[in-house]
Structure 1
Amino acid sequence: MAGDILDNQGRGEAGWQWPSIHPEGRKFALITAAASLVTAFLAWETIAWPMAFLTLGVLAFFRDPERVVPQDDKYIVSPADGMVSLITQVEPPAELVGDDGSGTTGLPAGPVTRVSIFMSVFDVHINRAPIGGIVRRVVYMPGKFMNADLDKASEENERQHLLIERPDGVSIGFTQIAGLVARRIVPFVKPGDMIAVGQRVGLIRFGSRVDVYLPAGTSPRVVLGQTVIAGETVLADIGTQPLIEGVSQ
């Protein structure tokens, strides 16, 4: 069950179960399932079968499995399922820097490490909080729908910036970016919400990317090409700069 204690001392009860389907996806599944049934009733099999398979694809896309979230204040966990496609030094988005007029201090100016996670249509698209704390900003930016794997998608695509501040003042910013197929970013949180690390914060419909901006003095614990899991994979330890190397196979 969600919330059960699972650890390396044998506590908890492990078991496989079908992942739930997020409510955001149920309406799409109902539409495609209805179309499949109607076309089957009309004996339009060439349409009915593809619509039936599309229904299964929609259900798979909106699956919402439970996750076992690491509980350590030094960890920044992955906000998205997918592949680490870019690790680079950049200036954080202007929408997350400085005072936005609300009296809330954003990220400091200056280069930081950005870890980009590309989500294919086969990945889980529920995004989760990389740290626990107060949601300070949720800023939606309209834009284009270029391939989310491109570096310039961070500045030109439709996107939504989020800023979370921990009780000790450490802030993490991250950005949900729409891709070629994605046409809507759906937030689950708003400024002022108190959230836990690994908590669901939103989704991006039908393929996209999430950028995470690490604090100064923090290097990623992941490498290019690595597959990460939202709410489980540790992206970085705050304040540490290990050199992590991998060999592609």
Structure 2
Amino acid sequence: MNTTAERPLLIERQDGIATLTFHRPAALNAVDVPMARALRDALRELSEDRSLRCVVLCGAGRGFMAGGDLATLAANPVQGAADLLAPLNEAVERLAQLDAPVIAKVHGVAAGAGLSLMLQADFIYAAEGTRFNLAYINLGTCCDVGASWALPRRVGLGPALEIAMLGDTLTSADAERLGLVNRVLPAAELDAAVDQFALRLADGPTVALGHMRRLMRAGLERSLPEQLAAEARAFGECARTQDLPRGIAAFYAKQTPQFEGR
């Protein structure tokens, strides 16, 4: 059995919140094949967990994630890329389909695949002083792990092209100004702020939150009639949950609803 020090991904569960920590601190958490597969396997398991209410992505040590492991690519670029991307892409797809909202807690550096994975979160909280760089173009390649899908949706096409095609490093202030992150906080306050926010989300109507996060993303690609139909289907599914009657009863009683997430 691997010790904690040997595991490329740490998983902690508490109060319905799953915290996934990228754990190759000596390599600034650069994602290699074992880490990619561990992330895929963790999300396979979480996608079947009905008690899941929120997911937090973070990195151990000095940064969130420095990108893909270049040693994997240098040995055999074609095969190395295939070995990394197959599990990472499945992980991203499973992350997108969760009902539970996803928070990225970012510090130090988020670059390359690390920035791509960060962008898959619904909410991004960053520490002051964090550096961001999509980085791929500096290596002579295009982006992967869903960055070309997520980045224009978060900051708009023009800024996304600039971030992707120039390969410049952004400061935490740049990231906040562009809307790349939701909040920038002093490093000493980041953990507590994310913990509090995760608990707030975990107390929400998880099924409804899941429909909300998927509707918002899909709405950028559908016509209005298609989106109206999708909303109606999703609302119907929410109406079958225990949470909607709880929310209505709490509204009439002028109380805070106590949602169960199902």
TM-score range, shorter chain: under 0.3
Give 1 or 2: higher helix fraction.
2
TM-score, with length taken from structure 1: 0.23
> Relative CO higher for 1 or 2, CA cutoff 8 Å, sep ≥ 6?
1
Give 1 or 2: higher strand fraction.
1
TM-score, with length taken from structure 2: 0.22
